[in-house]
Structure 1
Amino acid sequence: MVWNFQGSSSKPKLAVLKEIIRTYKPTVFALIETHMGGDHAEKVQRIVGYDSHARVDAVGFRGGIWVYWKSDLVSITPITKHPQYITMEISRNSGVPWFFTAVYASPNPQDRRELWTELADFARRNNHPWMVAGDFNETRNLTERHGGDANMARRCDMFNNWIEDCELIELEFSGAAHTWSRVDNWQPEGDLTAQLGSLSTKLQTWNEQVFGNIFRKKRELWARINGCQKKLAITRDKGTIVLEAKLRKELDEVLEREEILWYQKSRVDFIRDGDRNTSYFHVSTLVRRWRNRINSLKNNDGVWVEEKNALISHVVEFYKKLYTQDGDYDVNAEISYDLFPELSNEDLRWLTRPYTEAEIEGVIHNMGALKAPGPDGFQALFYQKNWEVVRQSVCATTIIKALHGKGFPDNFNNTHIVLIPKVTGPEYITQFRPISLCNVSYKIVSKVLANRIKHVLPTFDFGNPKWFRSGSTNFR
Structure 2
Amino acid sequence: MCISNSFWRHFSCNGVDFTVTRKHPQLIHGTFNIGKESAWDLSVVYGHPNPSKRRDLWTELRNIEEGGVGRWCVGSDFNAILHRNERKSKAHEATGPDRGFVNWFNNSDMTDLNFQSPQFTWKRGHAQSRLDRVVVNTDWFETFPLALVLHLPKLKSDHCPLLIRLRDKGTQKKCDTSFRFFAPWTMHEEFEAFVKQNWRDDCLWDTNITRFTAEVQGWNKKVFGNIERRKMALYAQLDQLNNLNLDSPLWNKKRCEVWLELEKCLQQEELMWVQRSRCNWYHHGDKNTRYFHTVTQCRKRRKNIEALQDMNGEWCYDQESLRREGTNFFQKLYTVENTQASEINFGGSYPMILEDKIDVLGYIASQQEIKHALFSMGSLKAPGPDGLNPLFYQSQWSTVGKSMTSMVQSIFTTPDLIKNFNGTNIVLIPKVEV
TM-score, structure 1 length as denominator? Answer: 0.44
TM-score, structure 2 length as denominator? Answer: 0.48
